[in-house]
Structure 1
Amino acid sequence: MTVPALFVAHGSPALAVENNAYTRFLEELGSRLPRPRGIVVFSAHWDSPDQCVDVDEQHSTLYDFYGFPEEMYTIEYPAPGDPEIHNEVLNLFKLHNLHARPVQNRGLDHGVWVFLHHMYPNADIPIIPLSIDSRRSPKEQYIIGCMLSSLREKGVMIVGSGGLVHNLRRLCKNEEPESWATDFDDWIGEQLQTWNLKQLFDYRKKAPFAEEAVPSYAKEHFAPLFYAMGATDNDRRAEKLFQVYDHGCLSLNCWLFGTTTL
């Protein structure tokens, strides 16, 4: 069974306890997608110059945030790992001459467990967290995703978790999204649907309002998009499944890559 890849916006950590259109979409998505054998997640909140692979057989929950309601710190997402899958990941990186470092006892950061808490609340699917490197070029990030494409044929879902518009300094109370945020998202969407890698790889120069949407301090939130896309380089299809905005300019969207029937 070949499964798709996803880009999922994880939004604020508070998403874990919210009940809104986006959380309901995530809950429904988990039931509509083919059940994966495991899930590899490239998280915006694990940014490292080394390619790291979490090799824990049982994950703890990492509360890598502060100032949120107390209930946030009581949620646990005790998903298992899977030695067979994490070894496959390490071997694929080695096959493509990418040095990868096994990591233990890190825990699942909120870029991993917050959205999975809604998609797969039973925490019974093996999770393999992977780091991203926001200092790499988009093309390099895409190529790393390509290295793992064969996992999809074995039922392993590849997910990039971040946010396409993620400027925390421009948050507001507007119910309607800011025009610069929608203009940027719309441009990205056009390139995704035509798989225009030349434009996407140069998005910081070509996309409207790129600096507002992806400020330099938040590039790690955009990077997971390229890792997820690369995992379906042999099946270049992109479909936007959901789009809303929080606080006027925090983009909550989900893109599906590869062919599947929902």
Structure 2
Amino acid sequence: MPEGDTVLRTAERLHAALAGRALTYADLRVPRFATADLTGRTVTGVTARGKHLLTRLDDGLTLHSHLRMDGAWRVYDPGEHWRGGPTHQIRAVLANTEHTAVGYRLPVLELLRTRDEDRAVGHLGPDLLGPDWDPRTALRNLLATPRRPLGEALLDQRNLAGIGNVYMCELCFLARSTPWLAVGDLPPTVLTRLVATAKRLLEANRDRPTRTTTALAPGAAPARTRSPDRLFVYGRARRPCLRCGTPIRATGQDIRPAYWCPRCQSGPTP
């Protein structure tokens, strides 16, 4: 599930493969832009903004993509077998003489003027991994709707950009609050610490191939625990809590299941 750290690594990988090189082949497999010819244009850079990817070209165009739940970009060397999925899942191909970038299952793919990028990302709050990060603004955004459930507020990219369902569940656990507790019911010091923890976790995981929170939260797990688990609650339904041993609970297996410990986390539950 792509979150801010995953998207940033994707942007860095695409930038290394494409930036400064002219496209020798380009194919956008979405009806609106299927006839667009980007061949010969040079990629000036690829950057992440929250969960959005912006691939900028030298003629003032930007290719905007979003991975959402299961989208992915893969980079291949010449002659390398494409392994990202079946052909019908490919939405974009960008190639130069050294690399080919293939976008799979991209729910959002559009061309826009670089000067108009705010149409795609201007609504986002401060980016946890971006140069615009401002914890005070993030706190103000979260507190603007104090009766909103904490988990919902954390997932709203207009408040702060980069948190997905994995980090939402883990942050609520570390704050000892269920995802359904109102933001305004959290003590101010806890909310301030939660925002700082979100920044620290994403920064620490930005270069890790496998995401972890258990190894990065001092004091969150007891010394008696030498668990190989990488996450405290996400994906651990019915398994014992690493802090207290109580079975982790989960909502129904919908597109965004929530996980929590009924003993360690206080607040409303479904």
Place the TM-score, normalised by the shorter chain, in its bin.
Answer: under 0.3
TM-score, scaled relative to structure 1: 0.27
Larger Rg: 2
Higher relative contact order (CA 8 A, sep 6+): 1
